[in-house]
Structure 1
Amino acid sequence: MTERTNRTVLLRGGNVHSPADPFATAMLVEGEQIAWVGSDGAAETYAATADEVIELAGALVTPAFVDAHVHATSAGLALTGLDLTDCRSLPEALRRIAEFAAATEGVLIGHGWDETKWPEGRPPTLAELDEACGGAPLYLSRTDVHSALASGALRSATEGLAEAAGYHPDGPLTKDAHHAVRQAALTRLTPAQRRAAQLATLTRAAQLGIGALHECSGPEIASEQDLAALLELAAETDGPEVFAYWGELAERGGVETARRLGAIGAGGDLFVDGALGSHTACLHTPYSDAEHTGTSYLTAEQVADHVTACTEAGLQAGFHAIGDAALAAVIDGVRTAADRLGLARVKALRHRVEHAEALDDKAVAAFAELGLTASVQPAFDAAWGGPEGMYVQRLGAERAAELNPFAAMLRAGVPLAFGSDAPVTPLDPWGSVRAAAFHQTLEHRISVRAAFAAHTRGGWRAIGRDQDGVLVPGAVASYAIWAADDLVVQAPDSRVAGWSTDPRSGTPGLPDLTPGEPLPQCLRTVVRGKTVFQR
């Protein structure tokens, strides 16, 4: 039964993470807003008249997380279908494909293979793929979703595939060929399959204390129908809020389409380049393991024209850019738009850059100058960083150590919004906070408190809602309740150890996220005053 939205709920006997009162143990919610935070003693004033009293029994209350970059349908298909992210070898992947094909009718869609983690060091051949899937149409996105494997049946059903850029007769498909087979596979989903996948993503997000998602859609990612169905589903079900981006150039009608669909920006995955794992991120100098510099999809002039059109329309622009050359094109383009329209006008829209991995100090300073929001994924470093990771394979140790410089961004005043890019990495907000605080490159680490802010308030600021994502009177009542062990405050003189539990710090505590410690378990997720998950 749907809850009344004007109900009053009192939470008491726990730890409320609030800058309004670092020692708060209680919170009052009236309808969709937080009305008060304070002590258990003061809470007695409200207990008699509250519609519900939640006894926290020491649990932690925090703002709900915001995942600032997801692909709901693809993430749901990974949750409900064939997920190869933890495969340890090529034979294991082929076995799982065969088992999935035997149990599934229609088009087969899977995700997550990563040949860099397999002893064989290669993806399956087309013959191996066809044998495993029994001749069915099969689409398998690589873990970075910038290349894919497609069976012979799906290739045959994709018009013009052999002439498309990025086509390979036997191996993974990239560029336009990848986009073509992805569309061919996704258009074969029934509305019921699509709805089930999207619902799986929304349900999983709620279970993890996520109260809002930024859906990064676009013509090369999904379809207008897919995004419209997601927004309709989110509106009619109790779950996380969904804020949509449509990644299409203004010159191709992107601004008009974004407005028609109800998107808040013409951006998100508007590709300037690809991804490092697929050798399609655009670099200034060649890859260490390939004799080329990746792929450029947009020029600085196209970026400038898009940002200009979006700014004039009062709509947020955004770009997918990972490699240093792609990021340079974005910076040059945004600067040109600022020269045309005035810097203040461009900065006011908080245009976004998704991923923004290969930033040097000059690029970080440019982000701050131009008011660009960095929508980043700390789990990328956890998955592919470190001395033995994929980044080192692709770029060598020196360049790999420069990736994802979160600390430098914060020092420069670059706004950070954390996300997962699910299904590229899973929905896992506390895991992302941990990954940023324990970045595999020491100088890029940030405090747990800063990382938590980037995954909560940062997501709201990225869409222009500065007042949300914090538990203070007047803010939207989107929060989560956690079973967590002792709360700690990270000491200012160390980012690795040096945890402090001293209450005199006056800083709200957070769970100990030191690697090896268990992550907090979500007990309840509330979105705008409505409970959308309860354990």
Structure 2
Amino acid sequence: MSAMSARTVLLRRGEVHSPADPFATAMVVERGAIAWVGSEGAADAFADGADEVIDLDGALVTPAFTDAHVHTTATGLALTGLDLSTAPTRDAALTLVREFAAARPGDRVLLGHGWDAARWPDGRPPTRAELDAATGGRPLYLSRIDVHSAVVTTALLDLVAGDVPRGDAPLTADAHHTVRAAALAAVTPAQRTEAQRAALAHAVSRGVGSLHECAGPDISSEDDFTGLLRLAAEEPGPRVTGYWAERDIAKARALGALGAAGDLFVDGALGSHTACLHAPYADAPHTGVSYLDAGEVAAHVAECTEAGLQAGFHAIGDAAVDTVVEGIRAAAAKVGLARVRAARHRVEHAELLTPASVAAFAELGLTASVQPAFDALWGGADGMYARRLGAERAAALNPFAALLRAGVPLALGSDSPVTPIDPWGTVRAAAFHRTPEHRISVRAAFTAHTRGGWRAIGRDDAGTLVPGAPADYAVWHTGELIVQAPDDRVARWSTDPRSGTPGLPDLTPGTEPPVCLRTVVGGRTVYVRPGE
């Protein structure tokens, strides 16, 4: 990202969400950091020395959100390309494919994302023949909403080197990685940069000031990764912290990654029947896919710990999570538990956990990088999770409250483009989890989506509006601010000012979400809502 702003800015006549002063209405930013928060009356002393005075007119100022799991280029391609996430039927999806192909005659490969046959009446994805007809025989790659399987055309298969199944079933595991690599190789550098700019601009328009890019050889490419980091360093926008998912520490470091982590796959996803389970799926006669064993996990964690680099893994199913726990325990026995804990290794998704695995996360100092919108999209008695696992097993998914009670740090994200970059929606999904015992307070979810993301990269000095912290903040138009009573979970609310706790928007389902008016990163304005 561009250098911080050296200007002094006074914001006044608003509501500043700061633990330093729960009743603050004004804030001073100086040289890219928070210099002061306090009352309106005291703000007069700073007015003459400010380069800019912003009248908040009652708006709320919060720390900017951190989205702890993003695929930036894929997000941008979804924003600028073919999005099938709202297609209600297979026929509707095929119509969108046909229209997109007609509108993009010059694309070497047509790219689309977001289909979900589990939500269609007959549950069947498009066949290869149907896609061939819709595209006029052109190369097409369509990733499922979870990005762990895809359907493609014959013309794309003809571009793939190696043996890939040529039937109608969606491609998964290594076959999917192979066709995705072939499809993305056809994206020009200019297209890629356009997509990255679109994704970064979208993020700041949602009040996101930093994001964690989860890249890797099975997801994108080295050029994609380094190009994104370079773009984020050169142009105003969100901070981008990069993770490279490969067991090659030297490469991760050379590429500029904070860790050899992120989507380093131990398994796949529930929707694609590739998450690794102890017991078979309720709707398929197998237990999913395993990519790493405990010995490989242990070797990687030990090497990363000794090199001072974060390790991390994608693990969704209970068998995959147990593989990670077993491996990290073995690494701790080799290099020392204290060193493993200090490294703040990560587990992405961590959906199907047992009480024993939750306790192990706490013991090993692991950060759970989780996506509450998954539950909002796929949870509930009639959702995809219940169809894949049965209602009883599905009810154990995404146990956010148990993780927090055990002392496991949470960092919230979207896994965009799997679910949208929508931070208030993410907070709402955690607070109103479809399984009531997994709900956490709005305050806890908000903290996990702001300060939690910073802590996940080893920074304890950021993600909150206190003097000395980086001036990464967002300004919001919102309704009445409320304080959640500490003993009420999400059922009842308190507006008693004696609580001494900063208020947050009412996120009860059905209420309007806050609207982002301005996003600032390092004291530099990177987004202003049109008309403001």
TM tier relative to shorter chain? over 0.9
For 1:505-524, what aligned pairs fall within 5 Å after superposition?
505-524=499-518
Q: Residue 352 of structure 1 aligns with which residue?
A: 346
- In the TM superposition, what is the alpha-carbon distance from 1:4 to its structure 2 partner? 7.6
Residue-by-residue CA offset, 1:51-80 (whole Å, 9 max, x unaligned):
000000000000000000000000111011
- In the TM superposition, what is the alpha-carbon distance from 1:3 to its structure 2 partner? 9.2
Write out the 4+ residue segments of structure 1 that deviate beyond 2 Å after TM superposition.
492-497
Distance in structure 1 (CA, Å) of the matches to 2:322 and 2:443: 30
Distance in structure 2 (CA, Å) of the matches to 1:71 and 1:294: 23
RMSD (CA atoms): 0.9
What is the DSSP-based 3-state SS (H/G/I as helix, E as strand, rest coil) of the residue aligned with 2:227?
Answer: helix
Does the aligned pair in 1 maintain the 2:216–2:246 contact within 8 Å?
A: yes
Q: Residue 498 of structure 1 aligns with which residue?
A: 492
For 1:202-241, what aligned pairs fall within 5 Å after superposition?
202-241=200-239
Does the aligned pair in 2 maintain the 1:90–1:123 contact within 8 Å?
A: yes
Does the aligned pair in 2 maintain the 1:382–1:439 contact within 8 Å?
A: yes
Distance in structure 1 (CA, Å) of the matches to 2:506 and 2:201: 26
Q: Residue 176 of structure 2 aligns with which residue?
A: 178
Does the aligned pair in 1 maintain the 2:440–2:490 contact within 8 Å?
A: no
What is the DSSP-based 3-state SS (H/G/I as helix, E as strand, rest coil) of the residue aligned with 2:474?
Answer: strand
- In the TM superposition, what is the alpha-carbon distance from 1:493 to its structure 2 partner? 2.7
Distance in structure 2 (CA, Å) of the matches to 1:5 and 1:31: 6
Q: Residue 56 of structure 2 aligns with which residue?
A: 56
Q: Residue 131 of structure 2 aligns with which residue?
A: 129
- In the TM superposition, what is the alpha-carbon distance from 1:497 to its structure 2 partner? 2.6
Distance in structure 1 (CA, Å) of the matches to 2:459 and 2:3: 25
Tell me the amino acid that sits aligned with residue 258 of structure 1. Answer: A
- In the TM superposition, what is the alpha-carbon distance from 1:238 to its structure 2 partner? 0.3
Residue-by-residue CA offset, 1:134-158 (whole Å, 9 max, x unaligned):
1111000000000001111001100
1:459 aligns with 2:459: no
Tell me the amino acid that sits aligned with residue 448 of structure 1. Answer: V
Distance in structure 2 (CA, Å) of the matches to 1:365 and 1:224: 36
Tell me the amino acid that sits aligned with residue 32 of structure 2. Answer: E
Residue-by-residue CA offset, 1:18-56 (whole Å, 9 max, x unaligned):
000000000000011000000010010000110000000
Distance in structure 2 (CA, Å) of the matches to 1:477 and 1:3: 12
For 1:267-282, what aligned pairs fall within 5 Å after superposition?
267-282=261-276
What is the DSSP-based 3-state SS (H/G/I as helix, E as strand, rest coil) of the residue aligned with 1:129?
Answer: helix
Distance in structure 1 (CA, Å) of the matches to 2:488 and 2:23: 23
Q: Residue 149 of structure 1 aligns with which residue?
A: 151
Distance in structure 2 (CA, Å) of the matches to 1:461 and 1:195: 29
For 1:9-88, what aligned pairs fall within 5 Å after superposition?
9-88=9-88
- In the TM superposition, what is the alpha-carbon distance from 1:208 to its structure 2 partner? 0.3
Q: Residue 372 of structure 2 aligns with which residue?
A: 378
What is the DSSP-based 3-state SS (H/G/I as helix, E as strand, rest coil) of the residue aligned with 1:161?
Answer: coil
- In the TM superposition, what is the alpha-carbon distance from 1:169 to its structure 2 partner? 1.6
Distance in structure 2 (CA, Å) of the matches to 1:31 and 1:477: 9
Q: Residue 115 of structure 2 aligns with which residue?
A: 113
Distance in structure 1 (CA, Å) of the matches to 2:171 and 2:252: 28
Q: Residue 196 of structure 2 aligns with which residue?
A: 198
Distance in structure 2 (CA, Å) of the matches to 1:223 and 1:305: 24
Distance in structure 1 (CA, Å) of the matches to 2:132 and 2:115: 16
- In the TM superposition, what is the alpha-carbon distance from 1:491 to its structure 2 partner? 1.6
Does the aligned pair in 2 maintain the 1:155–1:161 contact within 8 Å?
A: no
Q: 1:95 to 1:16 in 2, by over 3 A?
A: same
Q: Residue 138 of structure 1 aligns with which residue?
A: 140
1:158 to 160, 164, 172: 160
Distance in structure 2 (CA, Å) of the matches to 1:3 and 1:485: 34
Does the aligned pair in 1 maintain the 2:442–2:490 contact within 8 Å?
A: no
Distance in structure 1 (CA, Å) of the matches to 2:5 and 2:443: 31
Distance in structure 2 (CA, Å) of the matches to 1:61 and 1:480: 6
TM-score by length of 1: 0.97
- In the TM superposition, what is the alpha-carbon distance from 1:496 to its structure 2 partner? 3.3
Tell me the amino acid that sits aligned with residue 44 of structure 1. Answer: D
Q: Which runs of 5 or more structure 2 residues have no equivalent in the other structure?
A: none
Distance in structure 2 (CA, Å) of the matches to 1:19 and 1:295: 45
Distance in structure 2 (CA, Å) of the matches to 1:168 and 1:123: 15
What is the DSSP-based 3-state SS (H/G/I as helix, E as strand, rest coil) of the residue aligned with 1:112?
Answer: strand
Distance in structure 2 (CA, Å) of the matches to 1:272 and 1:355: 11
What is the DSSP-based 3-state SS (H/G/I as helix, E as strand, rest coil) of the residue aligned with 1:500?
Answer: coil
Tell me the amino acid that sits aligned with residue 159 of structure 1. Answer: A
Q: Which runs of 5 or more structure 1 residues have no equivalent in the other structure?
A: none
Does the aligned pair in 1 maintain the 2:379–2:386 contact within 8 Å?
A: yes
For 1:288-437, what aligned pairs fall within 5 Å after superposition?
288-437=282-431
- In the TM superposition, what is the alpha-carbon distance from 1:174 to its structure 2 partner? 0.4
Distance in structure 1 (CA, Å) of the matches to 2:316 and 2:427: 20
Does the aligned pair in 1 maintain the 2:157–2:166 contact within 8 Å?
A: no
Distance in structure 2 (CA, Å) of the matches to 1:46 and 1:493: 39
- In the TM superposition, what is the alpha-carbon distance from 1:436 to its structure 2 partner? 0.1
Tell me the amino acid that sits aligned with residue 25 of structure 1. Answer: T
Q: Residue 188 of structure 1 aligns with which residue?
A: 186
Does the aligned pair in 1 maintain the 2:4–2:522 contact within 8 Å?
A: no
What is the DSSP-based 3-state SS (H/G/I as helix, E as strand, rest coil) of the residue aligned with 1:533?
Answer: strand
Does the aligned pair in 2 maintain the 1:66–1:460 contact within 8 Å?
A: yes
Distance in structure 2 (CA, Å) of the matches to 1:383 and 1:428: 13
The share of aligned pairs that are identical, in percent, is: 69
Q: Residue 476 of structure 1 aligns with which residue?
A: 470
Distance in structure 1 (CA, Å) of the matches to 2:489 and 2:526: 35
What is the DSSP-based 3-state SS (H/G/I as helix, E as strand, rest coil) of the residue aligned with 1:490?
Answer: coil
Aligned pair count reads: 526
Residue-by-residue CA offset, 1:175-229 (whole Å, 9 max, x unaligned):
1110011000101001110001101110000100000010000000011000011
TM-score by length of 2: 0.98
